[in-house]
Amino acid sequence: MHIHRFLTAAAAMVALLSINACSESSGPTLTAPDAYAQAQAGKLTLIDIRHPEEWHQTGVAKGALHIDMTSAQGEAGFVAQVAAEMGGDKHAPIGLLSRAGNRGANAQQVLLKAGFTRVFNIKEGMDGSNAGPGWIARGLPLEGCTDCR
């Protein structure tokens, strides 16, 4: 059972990563401070798309939803989870937070392809990238992840 779930999740991750792996910029981006400010103002929903192990290691961005982009149901499962959290509103602004922005860009393309219209990649991610130092290094607030699955 565990191997089947792992293989399904691995296949979903490969599919998500292959969508736009070579693209430098796949859509609109935000810096971590801008994303946090917009979320605090109620203008953006933050979604941390990393894996549960990563959530446990670092915590999640304050106020962020946590939806593992490698849903056991593949892209359709990921899209369904995001749609449910957004109340079906595909025009609501969403900021995707991954480790270093790469998975965020891939998930962004998945959501755009599914009809979401305002999806932003927080390109520097939690740990930083060439786009910036990252959520953690910038000292932006984190919350422990007690209900991560």
Contact 66, 60 (CB under 8 A): yes
80 falls within a domain: yes
Q: Per the structure, how many domains does the chain have?
A: 1
Q: How large a percentage of the chain has pLDDT more than 70?
A: 81
Bridge-based pairing state of the strands 45-48 and 119-122: unpaired
pLDDT tens for each residue of 38-58: 999 999 999 999 988 888 889
Lowest mean pLDDT among 2-11, 80-89, 103-112, 131-140: 2-11
10 falls within a domain: yes
Indicate the pLDDT class of residue 71, thresholds 50, 70 and 90.
confident
CATH number at residue 26: 3.40.250.10
Residue with the larger pLDDT of the pair 26 and 99? 99
The number of C-alpha atoms within 13 Å of 123 and in the hemisphere containing its C-beta is 12
Contact 105, 121 (CB under 8 A): yes
Indicate the pLDDT class of residue 21, thresholds 50, 70 and 90.
very low
**Over 13-35, what HEC string results?**
HHHHHHCCCCCCCCCCEECHHHH
pLDDT at 16 over 50: no
- Residue 45: in which H helix or E strand, if any? strand 45-48
130 falls within a domain: yes
46 falls within a domain: yes
148 falls within a domain: no
128 falls within a domain: yes
Report the C-alpha gap between 49 and 69 in whole angstroms. Answer: 5
This prediction has a pTM of 0.80
Domain that holds residue 136: 2-143
149 falls within a domain: no
109 falls within a domain: yes
Residue ranges of alpha helices (H) inside the chain are 2-18, 32-40, 52-58, 74-85, 102-113
- C-alpha angle 76-123-34 in degrees, rounded to nearest 5: 110
